[in-house]
Amino acid sequence: MKKEHFYSILSGETPGHIFFGFIFFAAIGIALSLSLHANSRDVNSTRTPVKFDFWFLIRDNAKRLLATVLTVYIALRFTPEIFNVTLTNFWAFTIGMGLDKLTEVIKLKTSFLDVKPKPEE
C-alpha cells in the first residue's frame, strides 16, 4: 500500500497537511476547555492540590482526554462525509472544545471516565 493511500484513509478527502492543521486547532480547543475546567477546581478538596499541578491535571483527566482525542479525530475525519460540510480551522477548534466539554459533563455526571473509582457510600 502506498504511503499516500494510507494518509488518505486516515484523513479522508481532506489533504493530510490540512487535516493536521485541523488537529492542531482542535488541540487548542481541548487545551482551552481543560484550562477553563482547571481554573474552576475546588482548591479546598482533599483530592486536589492547592497549587496548580500540570501532571495531576493530566493524570486526573486521562480517560477524559483519551475519550476527547478519539472523538475529535472521528468527528474531524467523518464530518465532511456524513454531513457534507467543509471543515474550517474555526470548526476544528469548536469541535475540539465542544467535545471536551461534552466529555467533562459525562465525567461529572457519571463514573464512566473517572480515573479512580469513587468510594461507595
pLDDT in tens, 6-63: 888 889 889 989 999 999 999 999 999 999 988 877 777 777 887 888 898 888 888 8
For residue 114, is pLDDT > 60? yes
Contact 90, 22 (CB under 8 A): no
Q: What percent of the chain has pLDDT over 70?
A: 91
> In the numeric block, which cell numbers belong to residue 55?
501532571
Contact 63, 113 (CB under 8 A): yes
pLDDT of residue 117: 54
